[in-house]
Amino acid sequence: MCVYNPSGCSSSFRIGSLLLFAVLTLDYLNKKCRVFVLCQVKEMCALHTLNNLFQEREAFNKYELDDICHSLSPNVWINPHKSLLGLGNYDVNVIMAALQRRGYEAIWFDKRKDPKCLNLANIFGFILNVPSDYKLGFVMLPLRRRHWVAIRDICGTYYNLDSKFQSPQLIGRVSENSINLHSLAMCWKQFTL
């Protein structure tokens, strides 16, 4: 989905609020840009994706997303929008409501279309729901899960802000208001297969 707003590298790792995040500092046209990724904890990829998208460690928190879940289904004993165990695993409705609270709108994009048809100037970022293998320690379990991932332009460069990575992954630079759409399309296809 696309997220619209209608209205010299170094990396390091830090621990804050029990969340690991990677920081990448860029000097782009003499302005410092910090790019970070909150690393995966429990099944909180939706929370990490939102925070990675907004590049704020506390743009959203678990309690706010749980509150959204309860507002979406107020009188139910088992909430269909999150994990039974309270570990996260939030669905798309929670992400869309969280974006609306910030004044943004999520627009669905058909993965069969060519990403070149997108007007990137109007897009704040991308949120993808991708297949993900499930590991218990070092053991790969035969379960297919889904995982939320953010992609965003920060200081003229697109990054894959996947919380399963230890640092932001460079996709491509924006040059004269148009990113190397081939790089974005390759990343898109990699995630949407």
The catalytically annotated residue of 39, 69, 81, 162 is: 162
Residue 45 designated active-site: yes
The pair of structure tokens assigned to 73 is: 């289904």
Q: Which of 45, 48, 69, 153 is catalytic?
A: 45
Is 162 labeled as catalytic in the residue annotation? yes
**Of the listed 48, 69, 147, 187, which one is catalytic?**
147
Let me know: does 192 contact 130? Beta carbons within 8 Å.
yes
Comparing CA positions, the residue from 21, 1, 187, 3 lying closest to residue 11 is 21
What single-letter amino acid sits at 155? C
- Give φ, ψ of 75 to 5 degrees: -115, 50
Catalytic-residue membership of 133: no
Structural Rg of the chain based on CA atoms: 17
Beta strand 31-38 pairing with 105-107? unpaired
Q: Which residues form the catalytic set?
A: 45, 147, 162
